[in-house]
Structures are given as C-alpha cells and as structure tokens.
Amino acid sequence: MTVGKEINLLRNYPQSKRDVSGRLDVKTKEDQRIAQKFGKEFFDGSRNHGYGGFSYSPRFWQPVIPTFQKHWSLTGGDSLLDIGCAKGFMLHDLKQLIPDIIVHGVDISKYAINNAKNEVKRYCKVSNATELPFDDKSIDVCISVTTLHNLEEKDLIKALLEIERVKVRGSFITLDAYKNDEEKERMEAWNLTAKTVMHVDRWKEFFLDVGYTGDYYWFIP
C-alpha cells in the first residue's frame, strides 16, 4: 500500500497570528467542554470557546481553490466532499470558481449546518465522519481540514476508512501535530477540541497501519 504525499495544499490560505500563550493563561476545562459541543458558542461566541465569530470572506478559500483544482485536475462534473464543512464557505468558493463542480459537505454541528451560507446550504448535511452518507466510490475527492483530530483514535480510524471507501481519485486531510517538544507544548496550550494529537512521524505510521492512502498536512500553532 502506498500512502499519499505530505503536501501543503493550504499554502495560500491566509495565516493569522495566534496568541498561544494568552490562551494558555485563560483556557479552562469548561472552555474545552463548551467548545467540544461545536454549537453557537464555538463558532460565534467568545474567543475562549472557539473562533470568536465565524463569518464568510473570499480572502480565505478563494486563493486556495486553484491549488485544489490543479492538484486533482478538477473540472465541472467532478464531485468533492468537505468533511467538517462548518458553514460551507469552502464549498461556496468551489462553486464560484469551478461553477459546475458537484459539492457535498458534512459536519457534526447542527448549528453550523443551520447557519450555512445560503448558496450552498442545500449541499450540506449533519453527519458524522465515521459514517459518511455516500455510496462506495461515489466522490471524486474528499477534503477534511482540521477536523478529524477532534475524534477519539478509534473513531478516527473509522473516519479514515470511510474516506477510503467513498473516494475515487484522492483525498487531503490536515491534522493537529507537532515535530518537537516546544511545538507539543504550544499545541497543548492552543488546543480546545482535538482528542487525537500526534508527532508527525507517528501520524505517518498511523496512516500506514490504518490504510489511509490520501495526501495530508499538519496544523502546528
């Protein structure tokens, strides 16, 4: 079995400065409990509980879509699934830049799906990554950005196998990770929702053990 490539397909996504030490000073178990509900408080509540406001801007995904398009030679008629689609912002920009592409989004958050961008709301549904509501080999490309690490390891295995089941051409996931002790400390300070975080080398071993064959990259604060 061949594992995909370690490749940063999000290299054109705008980077924000994160006050990691500041979150460590104020983060509590209660903050994590609230964040892990993935409700209004996580998306549009206090910064202590998540995003501190999750609204659409073309500056985020529009620079990234051409990278996706080139990587998989995406054209109209191809299908793409965003696992952890939140309010559907990526799907909206995919439809803007590749008008006839077929998009699907799933997210565990009822709040996010109920507040999805109107233009793509009909393509989004509440669903768990461990049981994707799609037939075998029915989706050309699956993408999951900073989502799957929110699962316990046993469920993460199921989610990766679900991606393998439904995808036809490829997949790309990003996961919380670290390369050294300093990055591990920063991740522990930053993390609100991730339940499975590993060293990058352990992640690669994990992919081989599970049978995940897609591409991947890391989120390291």
pLDDT at 2: 73
This prediction's pTM? 0.94
Q: Which residue has the higher pLDDT, 112 or 20?
A: 112
3-state DSSP call for residue 105? strand
Place of tokens 């996010």: 112
What one-character DSSP code corresponds to residue 31? H
Average pLDDT across the chain, whole number: 94
Q: Which residue has the higher pLDDT, 11 or 23?
A: 11
Q: Which residues, at least 6 apart from 181, have a Cβ–Cβ distance to it below 8 Å?
A: none
> Which of 1-10, 40-49, 141-150 is the most confident on average?
141-150
Number of H helices, E strands in the chain: 10, 7
**pLDDT 10s digits, 14-37:** 987 655 555 555 678 899 999 999
Inter-residue contact 170 to 213 (CB < 8 Å): no
Pick the CATH number of 21-219 from 3.40.50.150, 3.50.50.60, 3.10.129.10, 3.40.47.10: 3.40.50.150
Helix, strand, coil % over all residues of the chain, rounded to 5: 40, 20, 40
Indicate the pLDDT class of residue 3, thresholds 50, 70 and 90.
confident
**pLDDT 10s digits, 159-204:** 999 999 999 999 999 999 999 999 999 999 889 999 999 999 999 9
Q: Give residue limits of the domains in the chain.
A: 21-219
Inter-residue contact 93 to 63 (CB < 8 Å): no
Q: What are phi and psi of 218, to 5 degrees?
A: -120, 150
Q: Which segments of the chain are extended strands (E)? A: 79-83, 102-107, 124-126, 139-145, 167-178, 198-199, 215-219
Q: Using the predicted structure, report yes or no on whether residue 144 has a pLDDT greater than 90.
A: yes
Inter-residue contact 42 to 49 (CB < 8 Å): yes
pLDDT at 221: 87
Structure tokens at 97: 């830049």
Determine the average pLDDT of the residues in 100-126: 98
| 179-184: long-range contacts, CB 8 A cutoff, minimum separation 24 | 179/220, 183/220
Q: Which residue has the higher pLDDT, 16 or 217?
A: 217
